[in-house]
Amino acid sequence: MPVRDRLPAGRTHVPSAGGSRPPGGPSDRHHEILDAALELFATVGYGGTTMAQIGDRLGIRGPSLYKHIASKQELLVEIVTGMMTELLRRQQAALARGGDVSERLQRITAVHVQYHAEQRYEAFVGHREIDSLEEPHRTHILDLRREYESRFRELVQEGRELDVFRTASDRWSSYAILDMGIGVSAWYNPSGSVSPEQLADTYAELALRMLGAERDSANTREG
């Protein structure tokens, strides 16, 4: 899944890469470190970030930092794994709602786009820095990406066999839909006039049109 190699614009804050967590305890410090690393990986790149820089963001010196995290690589693995796990979770939930092939395709496109608008730094780092992952983590993430992409391809194939979609290539069509959503993480501005939900619905309809399907626009977002 390719991505434009440029920094997301209009970032007003960096939400936690680790999601919700209970207040207090060592997990708070871990997530603060993870958030600091996420922002640095997105703005200066994984290769350009040092553990000292991460510590400086939080006012933590090296020995104290290593009490909470073993390495920069560990932080990257957690960010990228978290991204792919959440994408697959949202996709599975969208498919579980059923519907015809067009509705299912719209729905998984919508949740794909909405994630890339809402979690822009996570998505940007997750796609751009995959080659910075060490084995076996890189292979594991590539396997998850193939699983995620395959569900788009299977729906495109199903729709083509039913003569609902008119496209010459299941593979390239699924890649085009994925890349269309991934690109959102590079340009979407959360301070703009369009919400992630509105963008998701618009892109879901565009995906159907790209596949040659003719149907009325539907509310496709995950409820």
Domains of the chain (ranges, CATH numbers): 72-210 (1.10.357.10)
10 Å CB burial of residue 106 (0-12, 13-18, 19+) is buried
Positive or negative torsion for Cα 55, 66, 31, 85: positive
CA distance linking residue 107 with residue 103, whole number of Å: 6
pLDDT tens readout for residues 78-87: 999 999 999 9
Helical axes 137-161 vs 170-182, angle rounded to 10°? 120
Report pTM: 0.84
Q: pLDDT-derived band of residue 210, with 50, 70 and 90 as boundaries?
A: very high
Q: Report the sign of the C-alpha dihedral through residues 175, 152, 120, 218, in that order.
A: positive
Express each pLDDT in 160-182 by its tens digit: 999 999 998 999 999 999 999 99
Q: Please enumerate in sequence order all residues whose Cβ is within 8 A of that of 7, keeping only pairs 6 or more positions apart, or say none.
A: 42, 43, 124, 186
Q: What is the CB-side half-sphere exposure of residue 192 using CA atoms within 13 A?
A: 15
